[in-house]
Chains A and B, each alone.
Chain A
């Protein structure tokens, strides 16, 4: 069987040992770290994402698959660096103030890394100042904000306002997401886009870099 498919299957079952074993086999076979990351790990995570949307798997399955993906990317990171794979951009991701949900955010981080971004995880319950200071310090191309509660959604708008006041808004591609967030809401608060899932977030972020470089 195709080693990349075996890797994807192992990730989907959340089997960390199998994922590590298959990565090593793939490397021995001469596959590049980048290819293993994209065609093996990311591919498996995308399938889990699709199944989640169709209620074929639930949060527990997503969590164990994500854990396996993390283990896989940790193994590949040093090799990717050796191979000279440069980051296509930098992204900052955080869950807004008073919100302690991070499962979705962590998936976005994974998919962004898979897409070639350097990602700085700001964690959860990030204050407005927390976001502003991080943008000043890290100078990312992409800012992602997550909110799972309707009570914390307004903070996204406040962060964008604060960024405008600080003169930092224009250099950023701002993505927002989370279960109660919508395209309408993203428009209302002046974000660049609403990403309905982690894969979409990575796609939009990647496209934003491409169009910037054109």
Chain B
């Protein structure tokens, strides 16, 4: 069976870890943040482009999508020869942690999640703030020291260098507007965190705490959550379950479009 995976780079560490014993799977990562583009069709187009590229290069039987519904950026994706496989979750967080485990102590609506992949490959309001005020260099240098020769690209030069620069005060106000409702920063630990990640968590936490204080907003906390990648594992090794985990995975046959909204948004 020829398998390929197209995934958001926020899931990079966990996917690489799960697939390291596999030598017959093609994995392509797309940048984190596609769901932030002004229209969900833009995210869809980028993933569709990758699906089309893979289909031209080889005849895959299955293309696994490392995404959730992601604000409907995956809705309507289609492969012509391959079947598409996707987990029926709203977003990547469910692929990194089991929300049920924490529903009594975490209020998901006001929690900002971090993970190894999010810190090393994703954007967040703190990084945006540093970029707007031309202070990224310090973080990048810490980052490079930690990363050395490992692959990473969160500081996507192009994306961040194109950011408009603002005066410190304005940049703080902009960032405040984006983080004002957070009460918790949760770092997800899938057994892959280093001191660097805890340091990032603490730096981001301190920054947000100070910012909220300036606007007399109530305090923010932080937490480290034990992750759970069982759904991600079921997704990557979907063929191991005879029933293809019908409650968790959606498989679209060749030519069939992904229709995840109907499955997830119950009316």
User: In angstroms, how far is the closest chain A Cβ from the Cβ of B71?
Assistant: 5
User: In angstroms, how far is the closest chain B Cβ from the Cβ of A14?
Assistant: 8
Q: A52-B38, A125-B109, A179-B40 are in contact. Are A63 and B174 (CB under 8 A)?
A: yes
Q: How far is it, in angstroms, between the C-alpha of A43 and the C-alpha of B88 when the chains are bound? A: 42
Q: Is the interface of B mostly helix, strand, loop or mixed?
A: helix
**Nearest residue, chain B, Cβ from A56:** B38
Contact across chains for A100 and B109 when beta carbons are under 8 A apart:
yes
Quick one: which of A100, A180, A188 contacts B181, CB cutoff 8 A?
A100
User: In angstroms, how far is the closest chain A Cβ from the Cβ of B159?
Assistant: 10
Contact across chains for B174 and A180 when beta carbons are under 8 A apart:
no
Chain B 145-183: CB-based contact to A (< 8 A → 1; otherwise 0):
000000000000000000110100010011001100100
Quick one: which of A52, A59, A180 contacts B72, CB cutoff 8 A?
A180
User: In angstroms, how far is the closest chain A Cβ from the Cβ of B129?
Assistant: 10
**Does B69 belong to the interface (CB within 8 Å)?**
yes
**Does A60 belong to the interface (CB within 8 Å)?**
yes
Chain A 61-78: CB-based contact to B (< 8 A → 1; otherwise 0):
101100100000000000
Quick one: which of B71, B163, B178 contacts A179, CB cutoff 8 A?
B71
**Nearest residue, chain A, Cβ from B266:** A154
Residues of B bordering A, CB below 8 Å:
37-40, 42, 69, 71-72, 90, 109-110, 128, 132, 163-164, 166, 170, 173-174, 177-178, 181, 261, 264-267
Residues of A bordering B, CB below 8 Å:
14, 52-55, 58-61, 63-64, 67, 98-100, 103, 124-125, 148-151, 153-154, 157, 179-180, 182, 185, 188-189
Q: Please name 14 further chain A to chain B contacts, defined as beta carbons within 8 Å, in addition to the given A124-B181, A154-B266, sorted by A numbering.
A: A53-B38, A55-B42, A60-B164, A64-B174, A67-B173, A149-B90, A150-B69, A150-B265, A151-B90, A180-B40, A180-B69, A180-B71, A182-B72, A185-B265
